[in-house]
Amino acid sequence: MNYKNKPTWMLAAITATILSTTTLVGCGDDADSQIQTTTTDKVVINPDPFPSTYTPIPSTTTLITNVTIIDGIGGMQANSQILMADGKIIGLGADIDTPDDVTIIDGAGKYVTPGIIDTHSHLGVYPSPDTRSHADGNEMTSPVTAQVWAEHSVWPQDPGFQRALAGGVTALQILPGSANLFGGRSVVLKNLPDRTVQDMKFPDAPYGIKMACGENPKRVYGKKGGPATRMANVAGYRKAWIGAAEYKAKWEQYEADVEAGKDVKAPKRDLNNETLKGVLDGDIIVHMHCYRADEMVVMMDVMKEFNYQIGSFHHAVEGYKIADKLAQNNVCASMWADWWGFKLEAYDAIRENIPMVHAAGACAVVHSDSDIGIQRLNQEAAKAWSDGRRAGIDISQADAWQWLAANPAKSLGIFDQTGSLEVGKNADVVLWSADPFSTYAQAEKVYIDGGLAFDRSAPDTWPVSDFELGQIGEGDHK
Amino acid sequence: MKRLTTLLTLLTLSTSVLANQFAIVGGKVHTLSGQGTLDEATVLIKDGVIESIVSGSDVPLGYERIDAQGKVVTPGFIGAYTALGLVEVGFSAGQVDASTTEHPVTTIGAAIDVSYGINADSTLIPITRMEGFTSAATGIESSEYLFKGQGAFIQLTDDEPLLKPRAFMALSVNNSSASDAGGTRGTLWVALKQILSEAKFAADFRTSNSLIPTQHWHGVSTRTDAQALYDVIRGNSPLLIKADRKADILNIIGLKSEFPKLNIVIVSASDAWRVADKLAAAQIPVILNPEYNLPGAFDTLGATLANAGRLEKAGVKVAIGIETHNIRLATQHAGNAVANGMSYDAALAALSRNVAEIYGMQDTLGSLAKGMRADVVVWSGDPLEVAEAAEHVFIGGQPTKMESRQTLLRDRYLKLQQDKPMGYIRP
């Protein structure tokens, strides 16, 4: 999915640092001339008040030779090469011009893939150690909390980031939890842990919003004023969208008035509606926790009623029952390979969910929602791929890798930068010791923007979080 | 033509008569017994047990053949630590027999006996079985009592799953248990030793009817708890102790020297690699999840993917598999243990023979040898590979149906465009 309003977002980013623009007509040295002027301070909301300060780690020009390349968009090439320089992929294939000053890595018997992108992580917001003091992922005080932003809860010292890196994860979306109908904004991070969350923020990635269907909101709020039922969940979404549409109209009226030269006061800011308006404007992508098929279809009707787009259903354990409708509505499904039965809305999970969604032409994504699962997402894809084949759904490994990078990147609105191995894209690359559809394959080298972020052969270089410094097992084989 | 029909009828009849004899032909057989691994061998099954395992692909007359050429044959794997049969859906979905609330019959949890709660109709049983697991230890998952009660050993059949009631006693001494047991390990361990002393006293004097209701009993445990601990205190029933921190594991080793008959098994054990030599010397086996590598609490700071391999090298008996709905993924867990330093043979044993030994079932289960119960699985390839799967599963010498509620759901929805509502589509 090319996110429909990406140009709008990019434009907004350009004005990011300008809090207000002043229109002065005939501004000059002559004080008298100012009397003639109309001065309007047009209030423009800064869409990026916590801007990314990410900088890639230093890199050298690197060539991996004799390697099997899975490009992440359906291609697979044996005995191939990949060349990375200045953070980008600059060459692919058997015949490429090699610069003189280049680090050459022999990839014989090994595999190169795009870095894995996890659309569903709570690293940093539910970090290790799992204590009440650091459990900052779910604002369970009201069913509508679109005003909270996950990035304000991310603890960058969560050791889980380093573990995920060793599993080949180069980017990930951190989501608020699923207690609320509207849980708040997500943030997309480069998996390069640093001092602050801003240091990790994926530059120019759109924001997402977490929404949730089903059991969780009704369980959490059933005795706290509601919603207590699924029908009240839906009433809650619709009420919020009605409010957001009014808010959006007020701002649009204001902007039109300013444009027309009227002296008008800007509407009062409302952080909750600001996020919801971002969805209606097409700038913020909806990521919706939803298990049951029937609920997903209801949500796609709500989506049409209020004219927004759902980027991805998350968990979607019954995606296979409505895979055709997901495809028709251009909505991705972020799924587990085989989690099931921990609650009733996960009771109908099947092992072939991911390949069945893929086979229907919908955008299938393998996600983790787990600090353990995120370390082996390639194995989750391998399970789904092989289960599909045994059920007669013949998908190639090359196509299946779309579930791990290209489709997640599309559903996060960052596919123009990452998610596939193509010349010009960010060099977010994993070198695997063997076929990554094998249990025994391990990420040997993980590159983020061309920088070697993880090198399994050099334990002294492994990143260690502040939390683990001076603790048992610091720098151990994790 | 009529003769041919008669002959066919006879053949069909003879097949059903002979359905007691199966030959699994030509596979790579990991026996986990003295026969080791045979690259091409035939497993003969008769009357529910293994009749023989011989190299090659020759089959005597009268056996139903299962072709295993190019495939892998193992003993049925054993769920090492599960709540199978005790829970259908754990969360907000009605009764769960794998968790407890307070009841006057017990003050410490030891009296709880899950064998009454095993539900043979649970959908988890076929879902787990068709992925190569043929039996399991099952017990309480969630309890605020110090002891998690008496677990059972079950076979994953639809009839009479209970193989051994009261097969083990479970206990937890980790951070969360300390918080439930007086808020400190300082209380927990004093209580634990007191309880074991009471049980020992009761066991030694039970012939004198000291525990009849008309007699006084002033134990910390109830008299039912004490009775439940008889077999534990005498070493006849394994005591599974959940612990992670090094100091906790050392306390457990100390407990064993104080009560030498205890047959202790440590569960979870994320720091166990740090005291691997001591565990080996004390002959304490470990049941773990080798994928657990995060400092989830201040007693799991040493967690590492290398745990299983390091324990194996030190000579500790390791079993793999702590899960319920997805205990079927223990094969993947074992594969990841291999990827992080465990030997392949030890990883297979961790799913089969070692588990059987922990629960005292090794004379019938956990390996393939003449006279062992025929719990046998034929795999499409290496069972520890995520992309391979079980193709035939025998329990007690009988093939089981490779079907579950999940495969039926799959088959119903494989084709979405139907001319009738889905409810009319019966796969």
Give residues 311 to 340 of A whose Cβ lies within 8 Å of B.
Answer: 320-324, 338-340
- Whether B11 has a pLDDT exceeding 50, the answer reads no
A126 in contact with chain B, both atoms CB, cutoff 8 A? no
**Count of domains forming chain B:** 2
Whether B238 and B324 share a structural domain: yes
Is A350 close to B294, i.e. CB distance below 8 A?
no
How many Å apart are CA A346 and CA B258, to the nearest integer?
Answer: 47
Q: CATH assignment of A116-420?
A: 3.20.20.140
Whether B217 and B352 share a structural domain: yes
Classify residue A28 by burial, with Cβ atoms within 10 Å: 0-12, 13-18, 19+: exposed
Return the axis-axis angle of helices A377-390 and B330-339, rounded to nearest 10°. 130
CB A353 within 8 A of CB A360: no
How many Å apart are CA B411 and CA B427, to the nearest integer?
Answer: 6
Residues ≥6 apart with Cβ < 8 Å to B404: B123, B126, B127, B130
Domain's final residue, options B365, B396, B412:
B365
Is B297 close to A472, i.e. CB distance below 8 A?
no
A387 in contact with chain B, both atoms CB, cutoff 8 A? yes
- Whether B364 has a pLDDT exceeding 50, the answer reads yes
- List, in sequence order, every residue forming a beta bridge with B72; answer none if it has no partner: B28, B379
How many Å apart are CA A337 and CA A369, to the nearest integer?
Answer: 12
* List of chain A residues whose C-beta atoms are within 8 Å of the C-beta of residue B309: none
Is B291 close to A372, i.e. CB distance below 8 A?
yes
pTM of the entire structure?
A: 0.94
Whether B393 and B354 share a structural domain: no
Whether B110 and B71 share a structural domain: no
Q: What is the mean pLDDT of each run of 10 residues along chain A (478 residues)?
A: 39 38 41 47 94 98 98 98 98 92 97 98 98 97 98 98 98 98 98 97 98 98 97 98 98 97 97 98 98 98 98 98 98 98 98 98 98 98 98 98 98 98 98 98 98 98 97 92
Whether B353 and B372 share a structural domain: no
Nearest to A130 among B293, B296, B328 (CB): B296
- Domain residues for the domain of B21 are 1-76+367-427
Residue A16 has a pLDDT of 36
> What is the percent of chain B with per-residue pLDDT over 70, rounded to a whole number?
94
Query: How many C-alpha atoms does B369 have within 13 Å on its Cβ side?
Result: 12
CA-nearest of B9, B32, B14 to B347 is B32
Whether B217 and B151 share a structural domain: yes
Domain's final residue, options B342, B365, B388:
B365
Domain boundaries, chain A: 6-43, 116-420
Whether B52 and B107 share a structural domain: no
CA-nearest of A438, A434, A421, A431 to A454 is A431
Q: State the pLDDT confidence band at B217, using cuts at 50, 70 and 90.
A: confident
Whether B282 and B306 share a structural domain: yes
CA-nearest of B312, B308, B263, B259 to B284 is B263
Is A356 close to B339, i.e. CB distance below 8 A?
no
Element (H, E) at B389: none
pLDDT (mean) for B193-209: 83
Encode pLDDT of A61-119 as tens digits. Answer: 999 999 999 999 999 999 999 999 999 999 999 989 989 999 999 999 999 999 999 99
Whether B238 and B323 share a structural domain: yes
- Whether B13 has a pLDDT exceeding 80, the answer reads no
How many Å apart are CA A452 and CA A57, to the nearest integer?
Answer: 8
Query: What is the amino acid identity at position A138?
Result: N
The backbone torsions φ and ψ at residue A88, rounded to the nearest 5 degrees and listed phi first, read -120, 160
Whether B295 and B251 share a structural domain: yes
A471 in contact with chain B, both atoms CB, cutoff 8 A? yes
* List of chain A residues whose C-beta atoms are within 8 Å of the C-beta of residue B82: none
Q: State the pLDDT confidence band at B210, using cuts at 50, 70 and 90.
A: low
In this structure, what CATH number is given to the domain that contains residue B133?
Answer: 3.20.20.140
Whether B327 and B409 share a structural domain: no
* List of chain A residues whose C-beta atoms are within 8 Å of the C-beta of residue B271: 472
